[in-house]
Amino acid sequence: MMIADSDALVRSTRSNGTACASRKQRVVIVGGGFGGLYTARHLEKELKRRDDFEIVLINRENYFVFQPMLAEIISGTIGLLDVVSPIRHIVPKTELHVREVEAIDVENHTITTSTGFHPHPHVLDWDHLVLAVGTVTDFRGMRGLPEHAFPFKNLADAIKLRNHIIRALEEAAIERHDADLRRSLLTFVVAGGGFSGVEVAAEVNDFVRHVAKSVHGIEQDEIRVTLIHGKDRILQEVDEQLALFAQRLLARRGVEIRLNARLAAATGNEAILDDGTRLWTKTLVSTVPASVNPLIESLPLPKAKNGRLTVDRSMAVEGATNVWALGDCALVPAADHGFAPPTAQHASRQASVVAANIVASIRGGPKRVFAFEGLGILGALGRHSAIAEILGVKISGFAAWFLWRTIYLMKIPRWARRLKVAVSWMLDLFLAPDLVQLRLDTGVGVTREHFEPDEEVFHQGDVGDRLYIIVRGSVEVWQETAGAASRVAVLGPGEYFGETALLEERMRNATLRCVEPTDVLSLPKQEFSVLTASLPDLRQSFEEKSHERSPRPRPADSFAR
């Protein structure tokens, strides 16, 4: 109780601003990307002189991801851990909280984070708050994308995508009876023609084509890698000459580029474009759209139309006291009266401005303004090729690739990590990529799936592998007898199907086809078995309903309710 009262007193004195002048001021940084981590680094340099403030960094992981090299995880060019560095090693004087942020009280200068092993409230006071949470991939409002598209924002996304691609290749190598399934397994679709999308498409293309040479049963002409972009050329961020070079190079290496096309919907088997084109695929990667982090949306702070926080050139959030923002979550004015692009080189320079101005606020002194205009742009195209524009000089091909690797190698935090990456790159020149799939998940539990009109959920005679519950939409039940198919039922929201095949361990006795866009909850066989074994009454209910329907003239009704 005494500790709780002490904490309350500290919170009160901090929020009211009445603490004694000798008290250390606390700087809380939210986000461990380029903006947040580099702010902490610059603040630590200032701490060498005096010990009048403390630094707290809140991040959901205890490592920093070097984002420009993330795509190389897909092909295994570098190791899984080569793109990450422990935050504690980079900023040893900073107190790290590996937590999610639940809420920020701007008025009372407090921040609440998620619970740890014990579910007690975890509230921090702050004197200065730095927001550097970046953006998130947002599939809201896009049919089927939350369920079936792979985002590409962090290390977990890269590992998951690599594992999925390897699994698709392994499955395709032995798939013989279903031509459509084989085609979808060997088709890889990437939506978004910015740097992230282009780099992912290039790495996927190089990886699958190289692996196909050593996998018996897959031919090069069966592989299809498609890049979808909504404008008339990819890489709108660079000069047209470099963008066209990138397009020609990718096309020559087998990447199909669809311009002026957008992704409209997705299912577990198809990517559907806005013009109605359907691409059979089991691998859909979407690097767009990116939206502001929901944490920023919840704050009562001024924002621009795109949802980013409005700041002045000192990086202070307008209308707030001692709140700073930088990186992708802030709309930062540039020296040319425009706005700074959301790139790593700009975020790291913004961090030095934020750190200097926080120190000036604590110790006194003039404020700095952000005036960095950018040194250039680099983008990898896979297989020893890249594009670069450095101080107005345009470079492409191998020379740009060598420059890309040299510059980014020197930007990786800490020499130990740089050495590991350099060795990985050197070995990649001589050794083939590993085809190792890391099966890290022990069970997937309930998942959501999306289906489009006329798409089959399963076909009569398929193996019964999961239970489906309709959330939205409707499906038709078709049964084939003596070569003639007839519709025997229509199922809607709240009804379920697929339990009979699981209970009796037999093949599906009907075909389920969607009438309209349909969302379902899907429970795999293993989890269904655990659930019904643990809850005998539930199993009995399933069995009674299945038995009740089976003798009736409409046996496919056993899929319902």
pLDDT tens digits along 389-401: 998 899 999 999 9
Q: What confidence tier does 556 reach under pLDDT thresholds 50, 70, 90?
A: very low
184 or 416, higher pLDDT: 184
In the prediction, which pLDDT does 369 show?
A: 94
Between strands 270-273 and 263-266, the pairing is antiparallel
Q: Is the pLDDT of residue 559 over 90?
A: no
Indicate the range of 146-155, 382-391, 518-527, 551-560 predicted with least confidence: 551-560
Q: Is the pLDDT of residue 16 over 60?
A: no
- Tell me the average pLDDT across 205-217: 88
In the prediction, which pLDDT does 267 show?
A: 95
Determine phi and psi for 497, rounding to 5 degrees.
Answer: -155, 155
183 or 214, higher pLDDT: 183
Indicate the range of 77-81, 83-87, 476-480 predicted with least confidence: 77-81
Indicate the range of 75-89, 202-216, 385-399, 430-444 predicted with least confidence: 430-444
For the stretch 17-44, pLDDT in tens is 444 445 789 999 999 999 999 999 999 9
In the prediction, which pLDDT does 181 show?
A: 93
430 or 457, higher pLDDT: 457
Residue with tokens 């290496």: 253
Between strands 475-481 and 484-491, the pairing is antiparallel
H or E stretch covering 477: strand 475-481
Q: Two tokens at 189?
A: 């679709």
Q: What confidence tier does 550 reach under pLDDT thresholds 50, 70, 90?
A: low
Q: What Rg value do the Cα atoms of the chain yield, rounded? A: 27
Strand partners, 485: 480
For the stretch 509-548, pLDDT in tens is 899 999 999 999 999 998 899 888 888 888 888 888 777 7
Local structure of residue 261 (DSSP, 8 states): -
Domain annotation for the chain: domains and CATH numbers: 2-60+99-135+292-363 (3.50.50.60), 145-288+379-428 (3.50.50.100), 447-559 (2.60.120.10)
H or E stretch covering 290: strand 290-292
Residue 456's SS3 state is strand
Rounded to whole angstroms, how far apart are CA atoms 438 and 459?
30
Q: What confidence tier does 549 reach under pLDDT thresholds 50, 70, 90?
A: low
Q: Is the pLDDT of residue 11 over 50?
A: no
- 348 to each of 23, 34, 58, 301, 461, how far by Cα in Å? 29, 6, 18, 23, 58
In the prediction, which pLDDT does 560 show?
A: 43
| % pLDDT > 70, the chain | 92
Q: What confidence tier does 188 reach under pLDDT thresholds 50, 70, 90?
A: very high
Give Cβ neighbours of residue 143 (< 8 Å, ≥ 6 apart): 264, 265, 266, 272, 450, 452, 517
Task: Give Cα 357 to chain centroid, integer Å.
Answer: 32
Q: Is the pLDDT of residue 10 over 50?
A: no
End-to-end CA distance of the chain: 53
H or E stretch covering 524: strand 518-524
* Identity of the residue numbered 188: F
Q: Is the pLDDT of residue 57 over 90?
A: yes
Give Cβ neighbours of residue 321 (< 8 Å, ≥ 6 apart): none
**Cβ atoms of 85 and 64 closer than 8 Å:** yes
- Tell me the average pLDDT across 201-223: 91
Q: Two tokens at 65?
A: 């991801």
- Tell me the average pLDDT across 71-78: 86
In the prediction, which pLDDT does 443 show?
A: 57
**Cβ atoms of 134 and 30 closer than 8 Å:** no
**Averaged pLDDT score across all residues of the chain:** 88
In the prediction, which pLDDT does 80 show?
A: 78
Indicate the range of 154-168, 438-452, 503-517 predicted with least confidence: 438-452
In the prediction, which pLDDT does 561 show?
A: 39
Choose among 319, 313, 345: nearest CA to 331. Answer: 313
- Tell me the average pLDDT across 550-558: 45
